[in-house]
Every structure is written in structure tokens, then in C-alpha cells.
């Protein structure tokens, strides 16, 4: 015989009103159910801000955002805070040259000292990205799916090309993860699907347009770096195999800039006004005029069609536009130069 057990009744500690499990506020006195947790998260966010830990600060506020009722004043305040933090995350300038400590001697070198200090800051940032790249390989799902994809491509194209191709895809996906971390968001590790590339899944968050654009364009931006590295290897004696990896990687990242479905270009278009989308479409056509590659005609036509999308935001995002146009021209240049 099956016995059904009634769910435990939760009551408000202030007024005693019964509260459904899914409620985030008491229907009687409107007290927030997770008030204590929200207070703790606020303290964590303020502590993170005080020590300059931007990622921890925005992560705390994002966790808090799902614990307050939709449409409430608290949600609006938290959403505004997240928006301000997310916009500031799009770029982190180098700190000023120190006037104390072991690096204070750079101040006496004038402009040259400033350049050296910025180079040190950039080098530290790049080393941090290197750690992130290695971290992705520690995930079993990523490693084994990547190994499976490598085996499939090996049988089709040979070991070394397959290895370079898979690593190019991996770098692309880790670019998305780096951007997600910068915005305080969590995502799954990259999962490879032979023949289709790889993908990551965002863990249940609604993105603002500027977040969506920068997270989407981060993949092709890192992919461009991988293609440039392969191209440099080909010019330093690596031979035609590295040229093939460079051109294929650049072509694949160009394809991802197509503004349809869940491709990176569609995420980039999320922040662009109609006029800005037209500028991107023209950049595709300019790149086609130089390279004569048919893919760029297709990309330009799709971008032109998306220009008339009624969901295009009215407020332009100049940062996203600059990244998009740069990626179109740079990737097309690598693709064209590497294959000739």
C-alpha cells in the first residue's frame, strides 16, 4: 500500500502565515524568505569589492538575484548593481605605476617606465589565461570528449592536423568560459561532438545584451589568437600543415560569426543597433571583396537580413561593434593569407 506524505508546512517567522515552497516572500507581511542568506551575500559582495575581487563580487550579487521576487524593488536594485559591474568587466585597465615597493624605480623612467609596467601587467594577465586553458583539461568530460574528437579527426586528416584542429576549437570554447568568469557566471566545461565542434552550457542565467555580445565574441577572439599562433608557426618553419590549421581555424571562427541561431555572431548582434548591424554586414562584404571567399557573401547576406530585425536594441554598443568588425577583418585576413 502506498502512503502519501503531506509536504512540511513552512510558516513565516514574523507573522505565522503559511508559505508555499516556491514563494520568495511571505504573502502576509512580505518578509523575504531568504532574508538571512541575502544579508550574508550582501556582506560577501561588499567584502569582495573592498579587496578588489570583482569576480567574487558580481557572483555574490548574481546568486542574490534569484532569491528575491521577480518585479520587486530588491530585484531592481540588485539588477542595476549587476548591470554596472558587468559593464565595468568589459575591460580592466592597468593600474598606475607604483610609487612604493619593489617596482617604484619604474617611475623614474618616465614614459618608458609606464610602458614596462603595462607590459608586466599584461604578462600577468596572459599567464592567468594560460592557467585557465590548462584548467579546462582537468575536467573528465572535456578531456575524454576531446580525445574522442581527436581520434575521429585523426582517421580523416592525420594526427598532427587533427591535434591542431581540436586545440583550436578548445581555445575558442575557453574564450567563452573566460568571459563568463569575468561576468561572474558559471558554465559547464566544454563538450566536444565530432563533426559539430564543441559547446558549453550556461547555468540558468538571463544575460544583458552587452554581456551576451562579449561572451559570444570572446570565443572567436580567442580563436583568432589560436589561428595567429598556427600561422606564426607556419612562417617559422612549421610548413604547410600549420598553414592549414591556421586557415581552417580562421574559417571556422568566421563561420561562428554568422548572426543566426545560437552561433556567436547572433550573440554579438544582441547588443548592436540596426545601423551597427548594417556596418557589420558591410564589413563582411569588404572582406569578401578582398578575399573572394564565398562564405563571406553568405555572412554578409545573413547580417543584412538581421539588420531589419525588430528586436534590435535602440541603444548602440560601440565596444561590441568594434570587436565584431575587427574579428571579421582579422579572421578573413588570416584565412586568406594562410591558404595562399
Residue 58 and residue 49: Cα distance in Å, rounded? 9
**pLDDT tens, position by position, 116-171:** 445 444 444 444 555 566 666 667 778 888 889 989 999 988 999 999 999 999 99
> Per-domain residue ranges for the chain?
10-88, 93-125, 137-339
Per-residue pLDDT at 32 exceeds 70: yes
What pLDDT is stored for residue 332 in this prediction?
95
Q: Which carries the bigger pLDDT value, residue 188 or residue 114?
A: 188
Would you state the pLDDT for residue 136? Answer: 63
- What are 149's three cell numbers? 574528437
Average pLDDT over residues 80-99: 62
Query: Rounded to whole angstroms, how far apart are CA atoms 169 and 166?
Result: 5
Residues 319, 272: Cα–Cα separation, whole Å: 10
Quick: pLDDT tens for 222-244: 999 999 999 999 999 888 999 99
Q: Is residue 54 predicted with pLDDT exceeding 50?
A: yes
Residues with Cβ within 8 Å of residue 330, at least 6 apart in sequence: 224
Backbone angles phi and psi of 8, in degrees to 5: -65, 140
Distance linking the first and last C-alpha atoms of the chain: 76
**pLDDT score of 3:** 37
Helices of type H across 186-273? 209-233, 240-256, 264-269
CA dihedral 331, 308, 266, 181 (to 10 degrees): 100
16: left (phi over 0), alpha (psi -120 to 50) or beta: left
- Mean residue pLDDT of the chain comes to 80
* Contact status, residue 285 vs residue 226, Cβ threshold 8 Å: no
Cβ neighbours around 82 below 10 Å, total? 21
Residue 10 parent element (H or E): strand 10-11
User: In this structure, are residues 263 and 307 in contact, taking their beta carbons and an 8 Å threshold?
Assistant: no
The percent of residues in the chain predicted with pLDDT above 70, rounded, is 79
Helix (H) / strand (E) element for 78: namely: helix 73-88
pLDDT at position 110, please? Answer: 55
Query: Residue 1's pLDDT band (boundaries 50, 70, 90)?
Result: very low
Answer positive or negative: Cα dihedral of 11, 12, 16, 19.
Answer: negative
Of residues 96 and 215, more confidence is placed in 215
Q: How far apart are CA 339 and CA 247, in angstroms?
A: 6
Q: So what's the pLDDT on residue 115? A: 47
Q: How confident is the model at residue 330 (pLDDT cuts 50, 70, 90)?
A: very high
Amino acid at each position: 500500500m502506498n502512503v502519501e506524505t503531506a509536504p512540511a508546512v513552512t510558516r513565516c517567522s514574523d507573522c505565522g502565515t503559511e508559505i508555499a515552497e516556491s514563494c520568495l516572500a511571505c504573502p502576509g507581511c512580505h518578509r523575504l524568505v531568504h532574508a538571512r542568506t541575502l544579508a550574508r551575500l550582501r556582506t560577501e559582495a561588499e567584502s569582495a569589492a573592498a579587496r578588489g575581487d570583482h569576480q567574487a563580487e558580481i557572483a555574490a550579487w548574481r546568486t542574490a538575484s534569484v532569491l528575491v521576487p521577480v518585479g520587486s524593488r530588491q530585484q531592481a536594485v540588485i539588477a542595476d548593481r549587476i548591470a554596472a559591474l558587468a559593464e565595468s568587466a568589459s575591460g580592466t585597465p592597468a593600474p598606475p605605476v607604483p610609487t612604493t615597493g619593489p617596482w617604484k624605480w619604474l617611475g623614474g623612467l618616465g614614459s618608458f617606465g609606464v610602458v614596462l609596467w603595462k607590459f608586466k601587467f599584461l604578462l600577468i594577465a596572459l599567464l592567468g589565461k594560460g592557467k585557465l586553458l590548462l584548467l579546462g583539461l582537468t575536467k573528465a568530460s572535456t578531456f575524454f570528449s576531446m580525445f574522442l574528437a581527436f581520434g575521429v579527426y585523426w582517421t580523416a586528416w592525420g594526427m598532427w592536423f587533427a591535434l591542431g584542429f581540436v586545440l583550436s576549437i578548445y581555445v575558442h570554447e575557453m574564450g567563452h568560459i573566460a568571459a563568463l568568469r569575468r561576468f561572474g557566471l558559471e558554465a559547464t566545461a566544454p563538450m566536444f561532438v565530432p563533426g559539430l565542434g564543441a559547446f558549453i552550457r550556461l547555468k540558468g542565467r538571463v544575460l544583458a545584451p552587452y554581456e551576451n555580445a562579449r561572451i559570444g565574441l570572446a570565443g572567436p577572439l580567442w580563436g583568432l589568437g589560436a589561428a595567429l599562433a598556427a600561422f606564426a608557426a607556419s612562417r617559422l618553419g612549421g610548413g604547410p600543415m600549420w598553414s592549414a590549421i591556421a586557415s581552417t581555424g580562421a574559417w571556422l571562427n568566421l563561420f561562428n560569426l554568422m548572426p543566426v541561431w545560437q552561433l556567436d555572431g547572433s550573440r554579438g548582434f544582441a547588443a548592436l543597433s540596426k545601423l551597427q548591424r548594417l556596418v557589420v554586414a558591410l564589413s563582411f562584404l569588404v572582406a569578401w571583396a578582398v578575399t573572394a571567399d564565398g562564405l563571406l557573401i553568405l555572412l554578409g547576406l545573413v547580417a543584412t537580413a538581421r539588420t531589419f530585425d525588430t528586436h534590435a536594441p535602440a541603444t548602440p554598443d560601440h565596444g561590441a561593434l568594434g570587436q565584431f568588425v575587427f574579428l571579421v577583418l582579422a579572421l578573413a585576413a588570416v584565412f586568406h593569407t594562410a591558404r595562399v
